[in-house]
Amino acid sequence: MGTGEKERKKNRVKFSPSGIAGILIRKIIGVHKKYGMEWWIMIAGIIIILFTVYMALFPETLSPFDPLDQNAGPQLSPPGPVNPLGTDNLSRDVLSRIIHGSRTILGIAFTAAVLASSIGITLGLLSGFAGGITDRILSLIMDSIYSFPGLILAITFAAMLGPGVINITLAVSVTYIPTYFRLVRGQTLSIKEEVYVEAAKAMGAGRAVILARYIFPNIIATVVVLFSMNIADAIITEAGLSYLGLGLPAGVPDWGMDIALGKRFLPSGSWWVITYPGLMVVILALGFTMLGEGLAELLNPRLIEK
Amino acid sequence: MKHVLKYIITRVILTIPMVFILLTFVFIILRIMPGDPVSAMLGAHAPEYVIQEKKEALGLNKPVYIQYVEYLAQLARFDFGESMIFKQKVSSPIIEKLPATIELGIFGMLFSLVIGIPPGAFAARKRRSLPDFGIRLYGNIVWCIPVYWLGLMLQLVFGIWLDIFPIAGRTGTKVFPSLFERTGFYLIDTLITGNITAFLDVLYHIFLPALTLGIYLSGVYIRLTRANMIDILKSDFILAARARGIPENKIVYNYALKNAFIPILTMMGLQFALLIGGAILTETTFSWPGMGRLLLERIYSRDYPTIQGIIVVFALGISMISLIVDIIYALVDPRIKY
């Protein structure tokens, strides 16, 4: 048994949230020499995310105007000294709307990912572990949903539920449940054949203990990567839904909605109203993608690079 | 050949549960969620007896499971039913709008292959170099761009600032709709009638939306091509070719790329769902009269039968594409036997 394997075994036994954090921190400190480019990609991603989180938590400290203030400057004025990113058709400051809008999109994408992952992981674990007819039926249902365009399902859901922050979160999260389910189920299937699971069974460990202490800790690395990628995707989906006018009630500043509203003024040349919110969607989604790729490299080098 | 036939039949039968599950899912969602076609049509202030009468006429006051069974029975006869809002069969707007989406999808796919595969192969060849990093970064950025916003940006640059491409619709104002009554595929119709000016006009209009969709999907192909090419470039036959002194360019773009096509082809089938999602958003940006806009319109008016019909068409389309991909796969790769 090599030293690397020994260490992994040690970590596995000591599994706990703080244990995982410890492993991550040790890896992050020790690993940057080994992975040059991936390391910097991840750091860039983390910086983008931290900055947006700050915007979402303390928008007042950054934004020059109130996002709903209809007296922030002349109507549809281009970027200038008073309104750094210009104003929209209701004379609202585009920069302030972007800063305040970060809370909406980040909150919804994160909550949706948490919801989707908790349901998807639970079902995946149970389905993979139980096997038999339950597994067959669940897999068939999840595969059917998975193969269908997620956006169309989200659109249908969101339209039926009506506008609202909670409704749009539900609509976004539903489409990602199968992704977690498939990943976790597949891993559970292979892990439950491992010798150490066999050993635990032989020592009289119950089903719940095997699932929680032996199987779940071993899938957590891939789930973390998927979670990060999932938030990136959820950001794009949320922006898409509110662009289609299915997302949020008027009055909640939101990037997707700002693009939809500004679209009408594009032919007259007011490019700033839609360009900046869209750019923010790209940057934020890119941040989470970069974090995901970096984590994939750190936690399991085989995941992206072959 | 007999085996292939047997395989195809099995696959076709296997698509039935998928369509069935999706349909059930959507059927249930539509009926348990708030809002229904009658209140969408009559507004909130209509008197109660009018609402009840209308519901009676549409069969909406029957228990949900009876509505469900009746709908399935209808579907089994290949009948999508009547729209609840307009006096038309569900199939008629679908037949009208489907060609527009297919046309957009095919051109978008073509663009994405052209934009995605060569850079992917190049990045694999120059692995871990600056161009490789740049191409991968492009792939990641493109993946994160909302497709409708990309469309708006292209409209801004090519349609408004440079003013060289139209930003809405399938044709210009000079082309008469009566030209397109044969198949609904504008490119085919204009060719049949031999109207070259109209044909070029249609091509001119499809360029920007298809480019938008193509750029959006190209990120996936770059990733796929790169990953598969890296694998293949490590295999023995490439080593053998190198040992024989065959030029590196020929090895990469001729020998390796041909072999990388097989996994790429499989993924093309899987990306079809992505293509449909992207097409819907692109349609809204470019006022493209396709299935996506139809779906949105009908969702707003709670036209249950039409929404269900569109979902069934999409689900069938996805199953069919993955079937076709599997068959091509078998024909291309001699190692695969059924």
Residue B82 forms part of a structural domain: no
ipTM of predicted assembly, 2 dp:
0.84
- Count how many pairs of residues, chain A against chain B, have C-beta atoms within 8 Å: 125
B16 touches chain A (CB under 8 A): no
A155 touches chain B (CB under 8 A): yes
| Per-residue pLDDT reduced to its tens digit, A191-241 | 888 888 889 889 988 888 888 888 888 888 889 989 999 999 999 999 999
Residue B83 forms part of a structural domain: no
Q: Residue A1: its pLDDT value, please?
A: 42
Parse chain A into domains and list their residue ranges: 1-35, 44-304
**Cα–Cα distance, A244 to B88 (Å, whole number):** 26
pLDDT at position A40 over 50: yes
Are the beta carbons of A286 and B141 separated by less than 8 Å? yes
Are the beta carbons of B152 and A150 separated by less than 8 Å? no
B284 and B151 belong to one structural domain: yes
Domain boundary (B76, B102, B129) is at B76
Number of domains in chain B: 2
B301 touches chain A (CB under 8 A): no
Q: Which two tokens stand for residue B15?
A: 């698509």
Sign of CA dihedral B192, B198, B199, B202: negative
φ, ψ of residue B146 in degrees (nearest 5): -65, 130
A254: left (phi over 0), alpha (psi -120 to 50) or beta: beta
- Calculate the alpha carbon distances from B141 to A28, B108, B145, B168, B285 in Å: 25, 18, 6, 26, 20
B227 touches chain A (CB under 8 A): yes
B20 and B96 belong to one structural domain: no
Q: For chain A, what is the mean pLDDT?
A: 84
Q: How many CB atoms lie within 10 A of CB B82?
A: 17
B183 and B258 belong to one structural domain: yes
Residue B81 forms part of a structural domain: no
| Per-residue pLDDT reduced to its tens digit, B293-328 | 898 888 888 888 888 888 888 888 888 887 788 777
A148 touches chain B (CB under 8 A): yes
Q: Residue B309: its pLDDT value, please?
A: 87
User: In 3-state terms, what secondary structure has residue B185?
Assistant: coil
B69 and B194 belong to one structural domain: no
Mean pLDDT of A26-41: 66
B143 touches chain A (CB under 8 A): yes
Residues of A in contact with B230 (CB under 8 A): 306
Instruction: Give the angle B129-B135-B141 at the CA atoms, nearest 5°.
Output: 135
Residues of A in contact with B274 (CB under 8 A): 149
pLDDT at position A185 over 90: yes
Place of tokens 């032989």: A202
Under CATH, domain A44-304 is a member of which superfamily? Answer: MetI-like (1.10.3720.10)
B118 and B257 belong to one structural domain: yes
Q: Residue A303: its pLDDT value, please?
A: 45
pLDDT band at A35 (very low <50, low <70, confident <90, very high): low
**CB-closest option in B26, B145, B284 to A282:** B145
Residues of B in contact with A150 (CB under 8 A): 273, 277
**CB-closest option in A141, A240, A243 to B21:** A141
B247 and B142 belong to one structural domain: yes
| Per-residue pLDDT reduced to its tens digit, A99-122 | 999 999 999 999 999 999 999 999
Domain boundary (B24, B52, B76) is at B76
In chain B, whose CA is at the least distance from the CA of A303?
B227
DSSP, residue by residue, A263-292 = GGGTTTT-THHHHHHHHHHHHHHHHHHHHH
pLDDT band at A184 (very low <50, low <70, confident <90, very high): very high
Kindly state the percentage of chain B with pLDDT values over 70.
93
Domain boundary (B15, B46, B76) is at B76
pLDDT at position A90 over 80: yes
Site from A35, A152, A156, A261 to mutate, B interface, most B CB atoms within 10 angstroms: A152
Site from B137, B152, B293 to mutate, A interface, most A CB atoms within 10 angstroms: B152
Place of tokens 């992704």: A179
Q: Which residues have a Cβ under 8 Å from the Cβ of B297 and sit 6 or more positions away?
A: none
**Cα–Cα distance, B329 to B335 (Å, whole number):** 10
B152 touches chain A (CB under 8 A): yes
| Per-residue pLDDT reduced to its tens digit, B173-225 | 666 666 666 677 777 777 777 777 777 888 888 899 999 999 999 988 898 89
B60 and B111 belong to one structural domain: no
pLDDT at position B292 over 50: yes
Q: CA gyration radius for chain B? A: 24
Kindly state the percentage of chain B with pLDDT values over 90.
14
CATH of the domain at B312: 1.10.3720.10
Residue B87 forms part of a structural domain: no
Are the beta carbons of B22 and A243 separated by less than 8 Å? no
Q: Residue B7: its pLDDT value, please?
A: 74
Are the beta carbons of B299 and A281 separated by less than 8 Å? no
| Per-residue pLDDT reduced to its tens digit, B228-259 | 898 888 889 999 999 999 998 888 888 888 88
Higher pLDDT, residue B94 or A36: B94
Domain limits at B65?
A: 2-76
Residue B85 forms part of a structural domain: no
Residue B84 forms part of a structural domain: no
| Per-residue pLDDT reduced to its tens digit, B20-68 | 888 888 788 777 776 677 777 777 677 777 777 777 777 777 787 888 8
Instruction: Give the angle B295-B299-B305 at the CA atoms, nearest 5°.
Output: 80
Residues of A in contact with B29 (CB under 8 A): 156-157, 160
Are the beta carbons of A141 and B274 separated by less than 8 Å? no
